Structures are given as structure tokens and as C-alpha cells.
Amino acid sequence: MFVLGYKNIHFDDFEIDQYGIWSQICINCHKKNFISHKIDDYPGSDVICGVKGCANEAEFYIDFIEKNVTYHKGTLTLSREDFISEYYNNDKLF
């Protein structure tokens, strides 16, 4: 399982694309983790929070600041390049 760490919060649903690294988060996880920046518009209905173990409906998008991101596969911490290569099965990202 691939997990993205951000400020000691683990996300198991996230995107890495030409716009950056982002996910979605519910109001409970947002308040619980004191995330005070990089929160964007409502993602729409039927979008689930990207925080690992949470199944609440998301209320915001969150954009990650790259320097605060860690990349994990199972119990291993990977470099950004290795993570992306394995996550996308060596396909070109963009």
C-alpha cells in the first residue's frame, strides 16, 4: 500500500500530477490535525477523505507543500522518485 505522509498525517488517497500533490480532507480530520493552510474549494459530493482510515465525506481539497511530504510503501520510506516510479508502475507521470 502506498501512503503519503504530510505533517505526521498519513493519506492513502492522493494525487501527484502536473499541478502538484493534493488530496481531499473532511472537516473532522482538518480540525483534528490543525491544518491551517493550502485548503481549497469543496470537492463535491461522494468524495471520501484521503486520510488513512477515514471514510467521511471530504469537504476540502488540500495542496501539499513538497518539502513536508514523505513517501511510503508498506513500512518503507522511499525517495520521491522511487515512490512515483513504483506508484505509477514506471509509467511516465505527465
Instruction: Kindly give the confidence (pLDDT) of every residue in the chain, 94 residues in length, as a single tens digit, with 9 standing for 90 and above.
Output: 899 998 889 999 999 888 888 899 998 998 887 666 555 666 667 899 999 999 999 988 888 888 889 999 988 999 988 988 888 774 544 4
CA torsion sign, 36 to 37 to 43 to 46?
A: negative
pTM for the structure as a whole = 0.81
DSSP one-letter code for 68: G
pLDDT given at position 4: 92
pLDDT given at position 77: 92
Cell numbers placing 90: 514506471
Cβ–Cβ under 8 Å, residues 62 and 24? yes
pLDDT given at position 52: 96
pLDDT given at position 36: 60
For the chain, how big is the Rg over CA atoms in Å? 13
Distances, alpha carbon 56 to alpha carbons 29, 60, 62, 89, in Å: 9, 12, 15, 29
CA–CA gap between residue 23 and residue 13 (Å, rounded)? 7
